Structure 1
Amino acid sequence: MFDYFVPGIAAFLAGILNSIAGGGTFLTFPALVYAGIPPVAANATSAVAVFPGYLGAVAGFRKELAALDRTNLVRLILLSLVGGLVGALLLLVSSNAFFSLIVPFLLLAATACFAFQEKIQRWTASSRLAVKPYGATGSVLVAIYGGYFNGGLGIVLLALYSLWGMESLNTMNGLKNAVSFIISAISVLTFALAGVVHWPVAALMMVAAIVGGYAGAWLARKLSRKTVRGIVIAIGLIMSLVFFGRLVG
């Protein structure tokens, strides 16, 4: 029961965090590792646990998505499917030892991106580097990252869209959630077919994450965004230190 209790509580809290500020993966992945699930399988199971939340977010931004050019949207979906599949396959061929080695760096990088999200968006919005909107290179590379390790994916996507010259935050958020759903869908399917998902705990976590999402909507009215962001950053740093400690321990 303990092996289910910790991931279940983590998923509930992750649902709250995701509904307010994001960063739920900082809780679900470490909780699964703590429960005794090997790192690669824990990452796959975590991806399954947070997967349903994207669909609801997509529905909430359907008007913004409908206003996008259909050809560009289809192109982006296809590129995301390809990148997400590559990332998921890379995870499957990664050994637990190798994944354990790079996880602390991935967690720390995702935490840094989250902590400096607004500065990153301002910089990308003002730099306007020579990045082609809906370009294949950036889309596929970000999707590979998302298929391999979902943490911080939304922040990376928002930075990419800023480089593309997009300005409407609602449109960017809608596209971010749609692409995250596509990447998660192909990676979850890949992990399921490969048999690396721990389904009993994944099913419990999906339910807990959905309930947490509803609770987060209520809590969002009580806590400031700054407070929640501080909590997420603290969690990310603590988890990064924990996994760095596992390397040297």
Structure 2
Amino acid sequence: MYELTFFYAVILVLVGVVAGVINTLAGGGSNLTLPALMVMGMPADVANATNRVGVLLQSLAGANDFHRGGHLPREDFGAILLLTLLGSLIGALLAAFMPASILKPVLLSAMLGMALLILVRPAVVAPPPGTVPRRVADTPSSKWILLLAGVYGGFVQAGVGFILIAALAGSLRYELVKTNALKMLCTGCLTLAAIAVFIWQDLIAWVPGLILAVGTVIGAKLGVKLAVGFSQNGLKWFLFIMTLLASAAALWF
């Protein structure tokens, strides 16, 4: 059974702020929040489910702030959300009955592959200014990537931002600020589907989850301000650094 003290509550809020910023600008923040929850004594499956409370609220807060700033494209997000939501339901069902460790090699391969891609072909994840985004209906590869991102996000969450960036910037060619806006909306939707399954399985520890969410929401709001202020090139290199750090964290834990 987990132990929630005032010290742990403060740690959860502080870790949540950092994770919220990281998740808004790139991805991999759950590599901080999951260990923070497990240090309290939570089993891995409970920590995995509880972590989604903070992820959901940070995603909704971030998507709302991007929308208010005019950075959330709405032309094709119905198809984008449908695919990620479907994948999330599949992934959450898998998470309820299978160990999350089986996806670790997949996560590491995806993140290291993205880091290499940023170095070798940076325009793939950072389209040049003026690039016209593609529609999901006209880009078959994006359908599979979005579906797989949903499956992964529903299963374990950590690192799903990188896979969504690969689909939204790499396949659909959105510039990085709009990519991050859509990524937050997708993450919120796929997390909502996952939470429904975890409520059914009674795996969520609500009090630590909501305390963590206080931090992640603050971090998401800070992250939106940073994302809008960063140059496309700055966002690209932040993404590269966070990809490497998230890979190292996944190896460590």
Q: TM-score range by the shorter chain?
A: 0.7 to 0.9
Residue of structure 2 equivalent to 1:112: 112
In the alignment, residue 166 of structure 2 is paired with which amino acid? A
**What is the CA–CA distance in structure 1 between the aligned matches of 2:242 and 2:182, rounded to whole Å?**
26
1:81 matches 2:85: yes
SS in 2 for 1:30: helix
Residue of structure 2 equivalent to 1:90: 94
SS in 2 for 1:23: coil
Among 217, 242, 248, which residue is 2:252 paired with?
242
Residue of structure 2 equivalent to 1:171: 178
**What is the CA–CA distance in structure 1 between the aligned matches of 2:24 and 2:93, rounded to whole Å?**
29
Matches within 5 A, 1:47-86: 47-62=52-67, 63-65=70-72, 67-68=74-75, 72-86=76-90
Cα deviations across residues 201-232 of structure 1 (Å, max 9, x unaligned)? 101101122234456678898xx865796477
> Between the two proteins, what is the percent identity of the paired residues?
26
Query: What is the TM-score with the length of structure 2 in the denominator?
Result: 0.72
Deviation of 1:183 after TM superposition, in Å, equals 0.6
SS in 2 for 1:166: coil
**What is the CA–CA distance in structure 2 between the aligned matches of 1:123 and 1:198, rounded to whole Å?**
39
Residue of structure 1 equivalent to 2:49: 44
Deviation of 1:197 after TM superposition, in Å, equals 0.7
**What is the CA–CA distance in structure 2 between the aligned matches of 1:117 and 1:155, rounded to whole Å?**
12
CA contact (8 A) 1:25 1:151 kept: yes
Among 204, 212, 227, which residue is 1:205 paired with?
212
**Equivalent residues, number:** 230
Deviation of 1:51 after TM superposition, in Å, equals 1.5
Matches within 5 A, 1:115-126: 115-116=115-116, 118-119=118-119, 122-123=123-124
**What is the CA–CA distance in structure 1 between the aligned matches of 2:149 and 2:246, rounded to whole Å?**
24
Deviation of 1:24 after TM superposition, in Å, equals 1.3
1:186 matches 2:193: yes
CA contact (8 A) 1:7 1:35 kept: no
Among 146, 156, 167, which residue is 1:149 paired with?
156
**Cα distance change of structure 1 residues 41 and 172 upon mapping to structure 2, 3 Å threshold:** same
1:11 matches 2:16: yes
Deviation of 1:84 after TM superposition, in Å, equals 0.7
Deviation of 1:86 after TM superposition, in Å, equals 0.7
**Cα distance change of structure 1 residues 89 and 156 upon mapping to structure 2, 3 Å threshold:** same
**What is the CA–CA distance in structure 2 between the aligned matches of 1:103 and 1:65, rounded to whole Å?**
30
